[in-house]
Structure 1
């Protein structure tokens, strides 16, 4: 029963963040948006990693984040390994594809990839700052993209909070870190904790995103300005 509740709350948090992402980019604008090629590439890597797992029996041993094994690459490669069975892998890939697309449409490709990389690298460093240095010995935590995906999705909730004036949307955005923190405290659900981390970084990244947009915007000619 506990595992069912854990999975349901984890899924509910993603649904909450997905709704926030749709509100941020505008659900009615999706059909007119360009193909998010960076998100497509990221998803292709995740799918390719699953294919590799099923075609090479030693893939998990070589690429997961088992603390008993050495290898600097494991912190990155383990994210693209999946160990939740067929439905777990399907959920992780679908949520990664959807989240990365929404994130690219708001943050743009390069910043989206930077934030996803932050979701891979930062949580462990932040945990160390707070004295949480013990690495999990549960094999379920040795692989999977969900942590980085939840981190990335939470950045969209932070952006929604800082860019909207709609009260309902702000409450939706605020519910994301609140739910994540509650999940961590009640269940020790790591998805909740990385969501809080992602929300904090997303809030810090919004001014940078605005600055990059201004730099990339075409200059207004004098004639256009006078007209």
Structure 2
């Protein structure tokens, strides 16, 4: 029963973040959005990890994040290994694909990848800061992409909170860290705590996203002005 409740609350948190992401980018704009190639690439790597697991019996042993084993690469490669069976792997890959796409449409590709990378590296650093060696703040059980995905997904919730004036959307966004913290305290559920981390980092990253957008807009404006001037000269 405890496992069922754990899985249900974990899924419910993802639903809250998904709804936040859709509200952030605009549900009516989804069909017109460009293909999020960075999200596609991340998903392809995750699928490749599953294929590798099934084609090489030593993949998990070589690439997981078991602290008893050496290897600097494990903190990264373990994210693309899955150990939750067929349904666990399917859930992790689908949620990664969906949330990475929503995140890319708001944050843009490079910043989305940087935030996902933060979701890979920060939990381990926080563990080390507090002297933990059992991955208490990381939902990965030596493998799995869910921790980094929940971290990334929470960044769009914080972006929604800070960019919308709609009260219902703000309440939706605020429910993410509230639910995450409750899950951590009540269930020792690491997905909840990494969502809180992601929410906080998303808030911190929002000014950088605005700066990058303004820079891109200036470049586009300059390019348009140059093209117009060239066309006028040729005419």
Range class of TM-score, shorter chain? over 0.9
Q: Does structure 2 retain, via aligned residues, the 8 Å contact 1:83–1:140?
A: no
Out of 118-127 and 162-171, give the one that drifted further: 118-127
Q: Deviations over 1:65-91 (max 9, x none)?
A: 011110000000000000000000000
Tell me the residue number matched to 1:133: 132
User: 3-state SS of the aligned residue for 1:144?
Assistant: coil
TM-score w.r.t. structure 1 length?
Answer: 0.94
Distance in 2, matches of 1:213 and 1:40, equals: 22
How much does 1:136 deviate?
A: 4.1
Tell me the residue number matched to 2:187: 187
How much does 1:133 deviate?
A: 1.8
Tell me the residue number matched to 2:202: 202
Say whether residues 1:37 and 2:37 are aligned partners. yes
Tell me the residue number matched to 1:219: 221
CA RMSD of aligned residues (A): 1.7
How much does 1:124 deviate?
A: 1.6
User: 3-state SS of the aligned residue for 1:153?
Assistant: helix
Distance in 2, matches of 1:93 and 1:204, equals: 27
Say whether residues 1:94 and 2:125 are aligned partners. no
Q: Does structure 2 retain, via aligned residues, the 8 Å contact 1:84–1:140?
A: no
Distance in 1, matches of 2:135 and 2:17, equals: 26
Tell me the residue number matched to 2:83: 83
Aligned residues: 221
* Structure 1: 4+ residue segments shifted above 3 A: none
Q: Please, which runs of 5 or more residues in structure 1 have no aligned partner? A: none
Q: Call closer, same or farther: CA 1:194–1:132 in 2, change over 3 Å.
A: farther
User: 3-state SS of the aligned residue for 1:178?
Assistant: helix
Q: Call closer, same or farther: CA 1:19–1:190 in 2, change over 3 Å.
A: same
Q: Does structure 1 retain, via aligned residues, the 8 Å contact 2:140–2:147?
A: no
Distance in 2, matches of 1:160 and 1:79, equals: 27
What is the 5 A alignment of 1:1-227?
Answer: 1-129=1-129, 131-136=130-135, 141-217=141-217, 218-219=220-221
Q: Does structure 2 retain, via aligned residues, the 8 Å contact 1:156–1:202?
A: yes
Q: Please, which runs of 5 or more residues in structure 2 have no aligned partner? A: 229-235
Distance in 2, matches of 1:80 and 1:104, equals: 19
Distance in 2, matches of 1:132 and 1:109, equals: 34
Name which one, 1 or 2, has greater alpha-carbon Rg. Answer: 2
